[in-house]
Structure 1
Amino acid sequence: MRAKKTVSYLAGFAAIFVLTACGESDQSIAALPNAVSTSVPATEYASDVPGITEAMLVPDFWLQRLSDDRVRMSNQQIREFNTANFASDPYLHRLDDFPQTLPKEEVVALIDKVSAPASSPRVFVDGREVSAADYADLEAAVQRDAIPQVVPVRWGVAVARASMRSYPTSERVLKHIEDQDLDRFQETGVFPGQRLVILHESANGNWWFALNYHYGAWIPKRAVALGDRDAINDWFQHVPRLTVTGAQVRTNFNPEDARTSEVVLDMGVSLPLLSAAEVGHNVHGQNPYASYIVSLPVRGEGGKLEFEPTLIGRGRDVSVGYLPYQPSVILQQAFKFLGERYGWGHDYNGRDCTGFVGEVYKSVGILMPRNSGQQGLSDFAPTRRFGPDDHAAREKALTELSVGDLIYIPGHVMMYIGDVDGEPYVIHDVTGLSYYRDDNTFYQGTLSGVSVTPLMPLQLTNEKRFIDGIYAIKSII
């Protein structure tokens, strides 16, 4: 790590980001109005984010500041890193050696982690309060009584991007009626090719309770194909593989099989590569020579898993294998999401703060727990931890950051990207924006997307500095 200049504290530059949690916390802050209006010409760049210039929104600005761009881990070292984490981290699921059956109490415990009435009032999007009767209906949909004493484990693969939910329902539930963006039943997203352990079925037969590698919740059956465990694992372990390295890419349009046509694939999705020698020179009416051929999981008759040769044009943002793990790559990958709308728990076809950093690191092959609290509290990477009164230690740590380091406050994670004149900057998927103006008045606005912002000196409230909330910094090396 390189040492940097001591951070300067500029009173008019004090910034606060009023943050909602990234999928795991019940905290919520009402949407804040954007109080700033300007009358500048449309061609002039203007922003209410302090310390930001237009040049900072281009990755080259930060790439030029890199002093050490060495590869941090080889592919083999990353595999060993993941293996060690899956063996020890309680928030990661070891699907490779998952048991063939589970006792009922273990399945109920997994369901109870997400399917439980909230400790504070909830409302539907029309403002109606979620009542005890509503929760009773949701509990009936879960049908815990139908879980056998010994649960046979079934296996599946996600065939489409889909939401994993607290309960087997698509109905949106809010903590506050003004928080329309924060659906509290939204847990996370799954993506094509993810293995799933299937443990239970909803009362109406439309949902599975499933585990992927780092989460367990309810997923609609239409997004899952059931298959043989050995066949799924063979497919999952097949090499070579194609990795999606753009924010999102789509498979080629296919008029012959809608299951493989323009399927959305998010950053980090990995699919087995096939060759024309295996599948021929006509794939659903198109010559594959200018495309990559991947084995795409699809739903067959009765929801049975099938693998279908599918084309992804070579001009798409993809890579054979994972990208090299080095700071410049992490920077470029992170900036591919810049400006994307914030999506709580992968809602809105986007992602939240932990979804954002998780997808960036998946593109180099690194896997991590799902939620910010799980990441911050676990030991999946070398971690510096701070207590409430460790002010000097925090400030010193912020002068020793390396590009790609993850900074945790309650309910949120940010990625360090570099400094300008000693002031550290981060990129993160964030909702709110608040800071003191030059005249010491307190400004409250909104970001609601992947944003580049200054980090120092920040405050959590108008009385508490932001850095006092930092409880962990992780360096993935």
Structure 2
Amino acid sequence: MDELLPGVFADMLRPQYWLSRCRDGRAYQVDACNDGIAQSGTLYALTETAEFPVVTPLRPADVRFDEQGRAITDRDWDLMEDVSRVRTCSPTPGFAVESTDLRRFAVATPAFQSPTDKEFDELQDTTLHTFEPLVVVGESQDANWLYVYTTTYRGFVAKQAVAVTTWENFKQLRSSPSFVVVTKPFTLTQPQPYDAKVSRRWLEFAAVLPLFESGENLGRQHVLGNICVFLPVRERDGELTMRPAYVPRADVHVGWLPFTRQSCVSMAFTLLHERYGWGGRLGVHDCSSFTRDVHRTMGVELPRDAGVQERALLWRIAFPEGISGRDKGRQLEQLQPGDLLYMPGHTMIYLGSIQGRPYVIHDFAGYVVEGTEIPINQVMVSTLDIHTKSGATYLEKLSSAGAVMVQ
């Protein structure tokens, strides 16, 4: 068989290859897991009594470049800082009405590290899901951006991507007992000639939407093969309305998936070969949003960034400096598929070891062979003995291994 990557063969790109080696078929308790993560203090509470301070962003110390490859001048940064001065308001709850970027400054201008880079925008922090809850605490000087808090981040979101509501309605919608989670990437709602606001709307992987359970057909289309959900819509006054729409039944799951290793690995492989997108750019994932969204389909609220996820693990093996890669590999053998691995700035989902060689599925930029960078830039299976730019292997760079699936 031909290798796809070092040590990786075609059979390894099927979730069942790894799940057949999994010794743990238990379903874990989501609420207990989320309680443990919350106790780590890594998530923001979106409540009426919480405090939401505005934090002034800092410009990078070194030269950065825009999408045309031009150096961003001090004057450019001055303008970005001016427009990003927040005019505060009373905390107002709402939801993202579509998948949208959350930015460090109130601008769409990217800040790349080199004139030729088109990927690693330093001002892109994350993306929000359709119907992701948030709290608006102010707006930019040009009134085009809102400064918001989500459970994992704070920053600027385009105003047109947000709809606000009352605290009472916010609480009711967040606690809706009947909902679906999108389990396929790039899902579209059905065309709807009677309501353009919900027609052919793009729904991203791991978006969560309330169920619409009227039992009536929608827009003169039978429900067969579909499921009816509520979609968030921003009205002209910025207020939230929820409108019914059909989503293909095969693309969603009613309620959370079982919190099992089988669900975790299967959902990870659903995103196999999806292109890498720093901070969620391009409508796709980076390494930590990949692990976060895989767990989100099971109802687990992981933090957004790799380092914060690592600190929030319910069980963790920390690898001290100086420990060899071989010793780390031995310790990994106590893990199960679906556990998590971390190195500085990167996270991976563990799949198992084959003849003592550990394997992961992760969203990664690439690896190095004899000084030559091999770009991957997608979700892919790999061994941990591939090399990083520093010359060390991924295994040697591991800082910890752990799990949120604990009893």
Compute the TM-score of the two structures, normalised by the length of structure 2.
0.93
Alignment of 1:230-249 (within 5 A): 230-249=168-187
Pick from 351, 363, 372: which aligns with 1:417? 351
Partner of 2:321: 388
Q: Partners in 2 of 1:321 and 1:178 — Cα distance?
A: 44
Q: Partners in 2 of 1:443 and 1:405 — Cα distance?
A: 30
Q: Partners in 1 of 2:105 and 2:321 — Cα distance?
A: 36
1:405 aligns with 2:356: no
Flag structure 2 segments of 5+ consecutive residues without an equivalent.
none
1:327 aligns with 2:255: no
1:126 aligns with 2:68: yes
1:98 offset after TM fit, Å? 4.2
TM-aligned CA distance change 1:127 to 1:264, over 3 Å: same
Letter in 1 for 2:53: V
1:200 offset after TM fit, Å? 1.3
1:66 aligns with 2:22: yes
Is the 8 Å Cα contact of residues 48 and 167 (structure 2) preserved in structure 1?
no
Partner of 2:40: 89
Alignment of 1:219-238 (within 5 A): 219-238=157-176
Q: Partners in 2 of 1:275 and 1:288 — Cα distance?
A: 11
Is the 8 Å Cα contact of residues 34 and 301 (structure 2) preserved in structure 1?
yes
**Helix, strand or coil: the match of 2:314?**
coil
Is the 8 Å Cα contact of residues 340 and 450 (structure 1) preserved in structure 2?
yes
Partner of 1:218: 156
Is the 8 Å Cα contact of residues 155 and 195 (structure 1) preserved in structure 2?
yes
**Helix, strand or coil: the match of 2:25?**
coil
Is the 8 Å Cα contact of residues 243 and 270 (structure 1) preserved in structure 2?
yes
Is the 8 Å Cα contact of residues 278 and 286 (structure 2) preserved in structure 1?
yes
TM-aligned CA distance change 1:189 to 1:462, over 3 Å: closer
Partner of 2:49: 99
Partner of 1:140: 82
- Give aligned-pair identity as a percent: 27
Q: Partners in 2 of 1:85 and 1:45 — Cα distance?
A: 42
Pick from 248, 254, 260: which aligns with 1:313? 248
Partner of 1:346: 280
Partner of 2:365: 431
**Helix, strand or coil: the match of 1:81?**
helix
1:200 aligns with 2:128: no
TM-aligned CA distance change 1:133 to 1:429, over 3 Å: same
Partner of 1:438: none
Is the 8 Å Cα contact of residues 367 and 389 (structure 2) preserved in structure 1?
no
Runs of 4+ displaced beyond 4 Å: none
1:371 offset after TM fit, Å? 0.7
> What whole-Å deviation, never above 9, does each CA across 1:290-325 have from its counterpart, x for those lacking one?
4211121111221210011111122x2211111112
**Helix, strand or coil: the match of 1:271?**
strand
Superposition RMSD on alpha carbons, in Å?
Answer: 2.0
Is the 8 Å Cα contact of residues 267 and 362 (structure 1) preserved in structure 2?
no
1:465 offset after TM fit, Å? 4.0
Alignment of 1:165-184 (within 5 A): 165-184=103-122
**Helix, strand or coil: the match of 2:53?**
helix
Partner of 2:101: 163
**Helix, strand or coil: the match of 1:288?**
coil
Q: Partners in 1 of 2:195 and 2:62 — Cα distance?
A: 47
Letter in 2 for 1:305: L
**Helix, strand or coil: the match of 2:341?**
strand
Alignment of 1:449-464 (within 5 A): 449-455=378-384, 457-461=385-389, 463-464=391-392
**Helix, strand or coil: the match of 2:193?**
coil
1:466 aligns with 2:394: yes
Work out which structure has the larger RCO, using CA pairs closer than 8 Å and 6 or more positions apart in sequence. Answer: 1
Q: Partners in 2 of 1:67 and 1:54 — Cα distance?
A: 23
Letter in 1 for 2:156: W
Is the 8 Å Cα contact of residues 141 and 202 (structure 1) preserved in structure 2?
yes
The answer to which of 175-184 and 390-399 deviates more is 390-399
Partner of 1:52: 8
Partner of 2:239: 304
Pick from 291, 299, 302: which aligns with 2:226? 291
Is the 8 Å Cα contact of residues 386 and 393 (structure 1) preserved in structure 2?
no
The answer to which of 219-228 and 294-303 deviates more is 294-303
Partner of 2:377: 448
Q: How many residues align?
A: 404
Partner of 1:78: 30
TM-aligned CA distance change 1:45 to 1:253, over 3 Å: farther
